[in-house]
Chain A
């Protein structure tokens, strides 16, 4: 498997609290992605990064922010968590270091977030 780890794997929090999920890769890849997975919706892109300090929005970015201060780490932050953000969050990187675009992705094991 590609070197991609997510933390925490499980988190329960209360509405209104800030939450940060971390994605760490050892592949030295420029591109990193955050998706959320919900029943009936498949996987939807939240934000992605194409380099250190270079990020862009996906289709469901409202309520989320990201940061990439190092190549290996991509953080997803919920400034004030809401119940609608209860979901499973997946980080992904391209499967080949030579692939520059969002083509074939390798996914982390996921972070299950419950907002009460």
Chain B
């Protein structure tokens, strides 16, 4: 099935550092979503993007909908320990929501 290429697969960073991750696809999407999953829980929506070129922030998180509509980026500034988790991108096209493979983030004090 169709999947999104999400990178990096994992990141180990120090508290206070900035984080960048991205998602690319060979297909065009109408909506890009970014989710975070804590251990033992379901994914929780962080940011939703609906227009090509759109840049949206949610606190320390900033995400962008790529101009080509085939990619999206998520940045986390000044990371803190509770940022630990798995981050998933998801692209919506016609009637399907396709998920990336996830970026596992570890933050060390």
Contacts and interface: CB of A to CB of B under 8 A. Distances in A.
A contact face: mostly helix, strand, loop, or mixed: loop
Interface in A82-97: 90, 92, 95
Given A41-B3, A42-B88, A104 B95 contact: no
Interface residues of B, number: 24
B100 A42 contact: yes
B59 interface: no
**A: interface residue count bin:** 20 to 34
Interface string A73-116: 00000000000000000101001000001111111111000000
B45 interface: yes
B84 interface: no
Contacts, number: 53
30 contacts: A40-B101, A41-B3, A41-B101, A42-B3, A42-B4, A42-B6, A42-B101, A42-B102, A43-B88, A43-B90, A44-B1, A45-B96, A45-B97, A59-B2, A60-B1, A101-B92, A102-B92, A102-B96, A103-B92, A103-B97, A104-B31, A104-B45, A105-B45, A107-B42, A107-B43, A107-B44, A108-B42, A110-B40, A110-B41, A110-B42
